[in-house]
Structure 1
Amino acid sequence: MIRRAFTILLWAFVLPISAQQNPHITQYTNSPLSMNPAFAGSRNSLALDLSTRQQWVGVEGSPMTYMANAHTPINDTRMALGASLMSDIAGPVMANHFSLAYAYLLTINHSHFLSLGINAGINSNKVSLSSLRLNDNTDKNFAGDIDHTITPSFGAGLMLYSPYYFLSFSMPRVLPSNAEYPGEGDLEYSYNQQYFLSGGTQIAFTNDHSVRLSALARFEDSMESVYDITALYNYAGMFTAGGSYRPNYAVALILGLQINENFGIHYSYDFPMGSKAMNWFNFQELTLSFDLRKYFKTNLDREFSKPRSKSPTRDDGSARSIRHF
């Protein structure tokens, strides 16, 4: 009974906050593949993003999120492939998600593309009771682990983009799934459906100075909707500074540095606001972005046929990566 009660409380209060299928990511424009498979190939390079997010900074066993996203266009085609790995850890609770993505690019006109994407993967959940530090290490109720469950996952999304703006809509989990533990008092945890709507644009003042505006809305069944509004100042495509506002949740400071054409580093720090229990502590996030173009061939089917009259960054970077919006 002790083990059952502990497990129910653990899943009821920890997992809904930390191990949802998509946590609240501040740098959503740096790792969009985890939300929408249509972003596969959008950087016209072999792109790799490594991210970590720590919640409740300073609290032992606080939730941690690790993400790895990789995607690339297939040379001489309109197709692209990608892979996404996400791991949520909160004390003894671990929730993992892995998926493969496929995207196909359609040309609307000389300045607009529509990318259609699908993804398929698996969810894995586990509770490691044996990893807990207890006053009584001989308590048999916490001697073992709760067997992990594996459930399938399917998703779809689309993205319309041009040198001027982008619009995106996705359902990362088309089919809801449940993690069931019949041996633990018929415990069950549901993965709710989520819907993501995002968009962004860039206002160029000169060739070196611009402001990037973006917004993200996430809707989840039986949950409160969450919105992010982000404004970033960009200098010469190399330095980024700005902030993000998430009503009733947090405000964030965001910094970015593009070391060279192939490597960038991005950091954000969230300051809690509002009365939500999960906002009693701060959040921080770090993303390393790599773009390998050595093996990428120029594909005219992926390039805008009419360039912009004014380029906001050098080398028309706005057409290369979604981070430039």
Structure 2
Amino acid sequence: MKNRLLLILLIACGTGSFAHAQQGVQFSQYVFDGLTLNPAYAGYKGAPYLNGTFRDQWTGFSGAPKTATVTFDALTNVSDERMGLGVQLLYDQLGPQQNYSLTGSYSYRIPLRGDEADNPHRICLGIGGTLSQYSLNGSSFQYEDPGDPEISDITVRTKFVPDANFGVYYYTKHFYAGGSIMNLFSLDGGRRIYYANGSTYSSLLEGTTMYLTAGGVMDVSDEVKFKPSVMIKEDFKGPTNADLNVFFLFDEVLWVGGSYRTSARIWNKDNLQSNLAASDAASVMAEFYVTPEFRVGYSYDFTTSGLSNYQSGSHEISVGYVFKTKKSGQYMATPRYF
């Protein structure tokens, strides 16, 4: 029974293999809140920024992930914009396992050239520290043979795990590129073992994940801007994922676009099955600025893999608020499109 449960969790994580780590949490709307993927993003918007996101993944699939996060980041000194700080609170539930985590991020932002007010050019170096609480709730298990003497009573098991993140982020007014490695301490496989009442239990922790991102924005007309971007996600165990994103901005108020996620066998990973499907999911998204400082967003993901027969897509809602700065009374020195 325990082996079957572990297999179900691995399938739900999308690993496609008998790896021992859960894939890192990822939101479809990360394109509007880069702090979830890269600590070097802290302070990028040039003003204090508060963001909240809730994701209901694979609706209708029993035990599917449900994830919520709140992030806040700001500059420590708006006069030179050299340092940024950020914090993230995360809740993630996958079947009987829950994860609460607190992450702090620090970014040192180095100006390269150009007028910062009109055309900033900066490279940012970021580090982050995370403390996670993983809980396994045995009372939610459904046993095929209740009363089996081989199965001991399982209560809630809790484990606190520290971790670290590192990132680099470069941006101008019209282009950005970044790279990060999240959960550096999970290089050992991202698995923790528990012993209780003569039995052994496994907890699937988030594994080490590398993200590479790049994108740009260009004018189509005075009222319309075009923003393409790409993200490569590598967890060193499952297939390499690639997100291709396309958005249009209308009158600086409404973002409309979509994303397509696929996978590729870039590295030689002997543990992967040879018949894994490359196509994974597609998303449609919209972000609307109710006021210049307050925005709301929604995305819907269509699963294009075999999992589509067992669920009805993923829903994600986000809200964000940019606070005015004391420096100029503006929300930001120049619009931040990334």
Shared fold (TM-score, shorter chain, > 0.5): yes
The equivalent of 2:129 in structure 1 is 120
Return the TM-score normalized by structure 2. 0.80
Q: Is structure 2 residue 312 aligned with structure 1 residue 297? A: no
Q: What secondary structure does 2:27 align onto? A: coil
In the alignment, what sits opposite 1:170?
180
Q: CA deviation at 1:91?
A: 3.0
Instruction: Provide the C-alpha distance between the structure 2 equivalents of 1:241 and 1:267, rounded to a whole number of angstroms.
Output: 10
Task: Name the CA shift for 1:95/1:13 in 2 (closer, same or farther; >3 Å).
Answer: farther
The letter of the residue matching 1:214 is: S
5+ residue gaps in structure 1?
300-314
Matched, 1:180 2:211: no
Match of 2:275 in 1: none
- The 1:126/1:139 distance shift into structure 2, 3 A limit, reads farther
1:175 aligned counterpart, secondary structure:
helix
Question: Contact between 1:249 and 1:276, CA under 8 Å: does it hold in 2?
Answer: no
Q: What is the deviation of 1:180?
A: 2.3
* Contact 1:197/1:217, CA 8 A, preserved across alignment: yes
1-side partners of 2:91 and 2:14: how far apart? 15
The alpha-carbon distance between structure 1 residues 151 and 36, as it changes in their structure 2 partners (threshold 3 A), is same
Residue in 2 aligned with 1:312?
none
* Deviation at residue 261 of structure 1 after TM alignment: 1.5
1:233 alignment counterpart: 248
Distance 1:249 1:117 in 2: 30
TM-score, scaled to structure 1: 0.83
Q: 1: distance between equivalents of 2:256 and 2:96?
A: 36
Matched, 1:62 2:64: yes
**Structure 1 CA distance for aligned equivalents of residues 107 and 100 of structure 2:** 23
Assess, with a 3 A threshold, how the Cα gap between structure 1 residues 36 and 62 changes in structure 2: closer, same or farther. Answer: same
Deviation at 1:40, TM superposition (A): 0.4
Secondary structure at the residue paired with 1:56? coil
What is the Cα deviation at residue 15 of structure 1?
A: 5.1
Q: Which residue of the partner structure matches residue 302 of structure 2?
A: 271
- In structure 2, the partner of 1:37 is 39
Match 1:202 to one of 209, 217, 222: 217
RMSD after superposition: 3.0
2:95 and 2:88 map into 1 onto residues whose CA distance is: 23
2:101 corresponds, among 90, 93, 97, to: 97
Quick one: which of 74, 83, 90 aligns to 1:72? 74
Residue in 2 that maps onto 1:303: none
**Alpha-carbon distance, 1:320 to partner:** 3.6
Match of 1:87 among 84, 87, 91: 91
Q: Please say if 1:192 is aligned against 2:194.
A: no
Contact map agreement 1:40 1:81 (CA 8 A) in 2: yes
Q: Are 1:22 and 2:11 matched, yes or no?
A: no
Residue of structure 2 aligned with 1:212, choices 222, 227, 242:
227
Q: 1 CA distance for matches of 2:220 and 2:23?
A: 39
Cα deviation 1:160-199 (Å, max 9, x = unaligned): 1001100010012222254221334263545432110001
Equivalent pair of 2:213/2:231 in contact (CA under 8 Å): yes
Alpha-carbon distance, 1:21 to partner: 5.6
The Cα offsets for residues 1-48 of structure 1, whole Å up to 9 and x where unpaired, read as: x6x55664565444566x936223211112211110011001111111
Structure 2 equivalent of residue 302 of structure 1: none
Change (3 A) 1:252 1:142: farther
- Comparing 188-197 with 105-114, which one deviates more in the overlay? 188-197
Could you tell me which of 163, 166, 169 is aligned with 1:159? 169
Moved more, 58-67 or 85-94: 58-67
Match of 1:182, SS state, is: strand
**Counterpart of 2:30 in 1: which secondary structure?**
coil
Alpha-carbon distance between aligned partners in 1 of 2:110 and 2:68, rounded to the nearest angstrom: 32
For the 8 Å contact 1:272–1:279, the answer to whether it is kept is no
**Structure 1 residues 254, 144: CA separation in 2 closer, same or farther (over 3 Å shift)?**
same
Map 1:124-163 onto structure 2 (within 5 A).
124-131=133-140, 141=151, 144-163=154-173
- Aligned-residue sequence identity (percent) comes to 21
- Kindly tell me the number of residue pairs found equivalent between the two proteins: 304
Distance, in Å, in 2 between the alignment partners of 1:278 and 1:69 is 34
Alpha-carbon distance between aligned partners in 1 of 2:261 and 2:7, rounded to the nearest angstrom: 28
Measure the CA separation in 2 of the matches of 1:221 and 1:192. 9
1:50 to 1:139, Cα distance in 2 relative to 1, 3 A: farther
